[in-house]
Structure 1
């Protein structure tokens, strides 16, 4: 699956550009054909299931305002499909079929972007029920919204109204192409130079005899690996969309890795997923009398569901519970209201946030809580040979991280493609050269284009 992200993206761009010459005034049709053909070639099972799901969503959306409880049936079907897929390992083993070799192929059960598909479909149905949008004019336009290739790979989650209006005005211009290529270059740089190298360091640490509180170092490296892996895919596919003049939402605030508390962190991490749970679960439930006087309990439940979104297991449930409890404790102690106006306070806040984040990140890494406990409760030990093996890798990661952080500071609130257009041409070209040279000199291409969040 690692190489699919890069090769399929190139295929999507080429196919869509080719068909855009045929559908000059209706470029959304080229986007639909590009998505269908790309998914059909690289992930046929994904395409078949999503076309069926799109058809069911379209039919329910057109009937949702009737007295029959179509909304409940639609959401139940979508959530049920997502749960069944996340629990696939427990029921696939009980299937007995003659063609056993067929079921041994791991890719046959890989359905890319199912959670993004399901959550977008639910938001579409609930927005119709609430009167925020009208049902899609055609099955094809709804299908494009649900199977649009760039958003299936990495999100972010979008409302139907937001994307559909952009699909209607999609076109390729010199400006949109330049913006798209800048974002693609930025995403490739972050993935191959930082995410891949951090992954190599993570693998080395996990395979070592590190123990005790030194195990937090694994969580620390994992946190930064997740950030650069996921955010680089967002940048990359924002660039793919930008080529066709479609602006996907940002999913991370800049310098989110230097948050001073957990409240600030969750405001800028996986933004669209948090907004989805806020709008379609928390606000929906808080209207009921049972939850009205229990907002903190509902908030805790919301974070537990966010944990289960990553996978239906006790470890992810615990991860969500820990995050929810952390947020609630900060609310009770008003930690998020403390002004971080001094360098010392900021440094202490950053240390506090990263320490806690590294600790709960360990839940993702170890297959069971028992394994995690066995690692932590023993005498602390750090294998110094890690430094000898990984010293060049660590140096490159550190220097490239400083470079990324410098660009984040320099560009302020602007997206990198907009920032590059604003600065002078010679500075822009110098940055291009630096990114390309860093990519080819320091890039680790051994693992393909890596996106950890494809697993969810």
Structure 2
């Protein structure tokens, strides 16, 4: 709180006021006056206004800002996660799933819990509050937490930051035609390793105190065979939030009950606008929803016997169209993207030669990560490390530390694309 107050006073001011409004509204919801609408409207309204303000200011772009540098004292970091957690708290009280918090500081701990504030995952009040009451530090929790922190640092510094440099080089090159998909492909893997590494890191910090944060990504989600499988394992808590607090809330009404696909499309459009209020994100959400609906209509999601050929074909199919959507996500000017794609096919070999060593390191480290993911199966990575023999585990820790020191990227600032949301 002190750090936020010093470097981002507007963030601290809003969080304190927002926490007060949420606490007060939570104790008023059961009365006859429609406090639920007023409370949610106030929180969501401020989020919309702030996101509109961000869309008007072109110079705010966290992708090219040093994470450890000045991100703007008047910027509110973690606003979306704060508001969504506050809304889920109010709606759960309205549905009588939980009772209002008996202490303002207990609610504020939930809303301002550092490991979830800046990059999620989203959580229900009942889930975290029960763990807060039993928080403690043990030898096991400290060990598991440090494993997750090490894993997150490895994924971010060795993979995400290298992918970021390659992505920016390709984006600024004279690439054209079908090769433009390579930008989207690299960005897709960059955003996975960047975002998931932050989740690993903050899960580790929380785990030290015996507080388990939910997983936000399924292992190997990057090798999904269709869009339905992908969304089941990507930014899980955000999708669950829209499912529980928007889709299920609206499907109760007769109008939407007869138009489930239209409601599903609207849900994905809202997920797009969650990233920012612009035509770029709205189009991304619209196309994401259409993709899911088409798969449902074509019964692509039905369980069938998956052979090696069909599995690899599914992975290629998903990565191909996923790269197209990624291009829409990262290019705010659709006409500019169209001009690049419609140009003559051109692969900037000079960029690839410049990143030759970088690409070699990326391929080797990605294979290493994927092997760990395959072997871990249903276990979280810290739990999987705990199943390895002690001497092997020590070699693994030394290897990861060595990889970070030898291949980690520390120069040029640390890109943190998803913190902008």
What's the TM-score once normalised by structure 2's chain length?
0.95
Q: Which residue of 2 aligns with 1:393?
A: 358
Q: Quick check: 2:55–2:278 contact (8 Å CA) kept in 1?
A: no
- Is 1:365 matched with 2:326? no
Q: Distance in 1 between matches of 2:264 and 2:232?
A: 14
Moved more, 374-383 or 227-236: 374-383
Q: 1:233 aligns with which of 188, 198, 201?
A: 198
SS at match of 2:301: helix
Q: Distance in 2 between matches of 1:184 and 1:45?
A: 29
Change in CA separation of 1:179 and 1:370 when aligned onto 2, cut-off 3 Å? same
Q: Which residue of 2 aligns with 1:176?
A: 141
Q: Which residue of 2 aligns with 1:102?
A: none
Change in CA separation of 1:418 and 1:262 when aligned onto 2, cut-off 3 Å? same
Give the Å deviation of 1:262: 0.3
Superimposed CA distance per residue, residues 258-287 of structure 1 (whole angstroms, 9 cap, x where no aligned partner)? 000000000000000000000000000000
Q: Which residue of 2 aligns with 1:319?
A: 284
Change in CA separation of 1:380 and 1:150 when aligned onto 2, cut-off 3 Å? same
Change in CA separation of 1:430 and 1:91 when aligned onto 2, cut-off 3 Å? closer
Superimposed CA distance per residue, residues 217-258 of structure 1 (whole angstroms, 9 cap, x where no aligned partner)? 000000000000000000000001011111000000000000
Q: 2:158 aligns with which of 193, 210, 216?
A: 193
Q: Quick check: 2:164–2:415 contact (8 Å CA) kept in 1?
A: no
What 5-or-longer segments of structure 1 have no aligned partner? 1-35, 94-104
- Is 1:50 matched with 2:12? no
Q: Quick check: 2:179–2:345 contact (8 Å CA) kept in 1?
A: yes
Q: Distance in 2 between matches of 1:416 and 1:434?
A: 16
- Is 1:217 matched with 2:182? yes
- Is 1:159 matched with 2:124? yes
Q: Distance in 1 between matches of 2:276 and 2:325?
A: 15
What's the TM-score once normalised by structure 1's chain length?
0.88
Q: Quick check: 2:55–2:276 contact (8 Å CA) kept in 1?
A: no
Superimposed CA distance per residue, residues 353-383 of structure 1 (whole angstroms, 9 cap, x where no aligned partner)? 0001000100122121111111111221111
Q: 2:245 aligns with which of 246, 261, 280?
A: 280
What 5-or-longer segments of structure 2 have no aligned partner? 59-69
Matches within 5 A, 1:249-288: 249-288=214-253
Q: Which residue of 2 aligns with 1:19?
A: none
- Is 1:329 matched with 2:255? no
Q: Which residue of 2 aligns with 1:418?
A: 383
Q: Which residue of 2 aligns with 1:300?
A: 265
Matches within 5 A, 1:332-351: 332-339=297-304, 341-351=306-316
SS at match of 1:249: coil
Q: How many matched pairs?
A: 410
Moved more, 337-346 or 313-322: 337-346
* RMSD between aligned residues: 1.3
